[in-house]
A and B are shown apart, each in its own frame.
Chain A
């Protein structure tokens, strides 16, 4: 079974500051990890994914995440926050065992302070 824990349901950062959204995973098999973003009144969009290739994954809109097996983490970062980054972010995990279940975290709402 797989699960993810997102630390902090709400995060606020100033425009131009570093964005750090935390995600820790639990998986009995090698995990595949994803970050999705949800803008208000919209569906989710894929930001980036880790599928056992490079541990540092770059995504859209300047976001990146690093897979750290020793820490069971997959934190999302962006060097400089922009107002348009305000949204809800979901970490998700699936196992390499072949089932179709993508398990989502509870989400982190990111607020950007002008």
Chain B
């Protein structure tokens, strides 16, 4: 039972480079989320999706784009990486809404932008 799988787990980028983080869940969940975790700041919501083909902005969306072409996948893109985007990124999914559903998290992707 894989749950939520994130790839890659580690990546080092140079300023201005682009990359995509992939999140895959095998639980048939409708809702998917991308968070970033920074020391002393907890987790902050970047973007989320309430179903295939839909996306919405979270708390800190600038500099990121997302796509949910398939229900099981949620991609997070950085078009032009900046040092401020150095962080640990977590994907999460849930069967139902945040009010009633438990979020299941991946193990995280550590990104360093030089």
Contact = CB atoms under 8 A, between A and B. Distances in A.
Co-complex (A, B): yes
Interface of A: 9, 32, 36, 41-46, 49, 51, 90, 94, 96, 98, 100-107
Interface residue tally of chain B, by bracket?
20 to 34
Interface string B41-57: 11111001010000010
Interface of B: 4, 31, 33, 35, 40-45, 48, 50, 56, 58-59, 90, 92, 97-100, 102-108
16 contacts: A9-B40, A32-B99, A41-B107, A43-B4, A43-B108, A44-B43, A44-B103, A49-B102, A96-B99, A98-B97, A98-B99, A101-B98, A102-B98, A104-B43, A106-B41, A107-B42
Given A42-B107, A44-B103, A96-B99, A90 B43 contact: yes
B45 A43 contact: no
Nearest to A102: B98
Contacts of B108: 41-43
Contact of A51 (B43, B56, B59, B99): B99
Contacts, number: 58
A102 B90 CA distance: 14
Contact of B31 (A46, A49, A100): A100
A63 B98 CA distance: 21
Given A9-B40, A90-B42, A102-B103, 7 more contacts: A43-B90, A43-B92, A43-B104, A46-B102, A100-B33, A101-B45, A104-B35
Contacts of A36: 103
A42 B50 CA distance: 24
A90 B42 CA distance: 8
Contacts of B92: 43-44
Contacts of B107: 41-43
Nearest to B49: A100
A107 B2 CA distance: 26
A90 B98 CA distance: 16
A93 B36 CA distance: 17
Contacts of B42: 90, 104-107
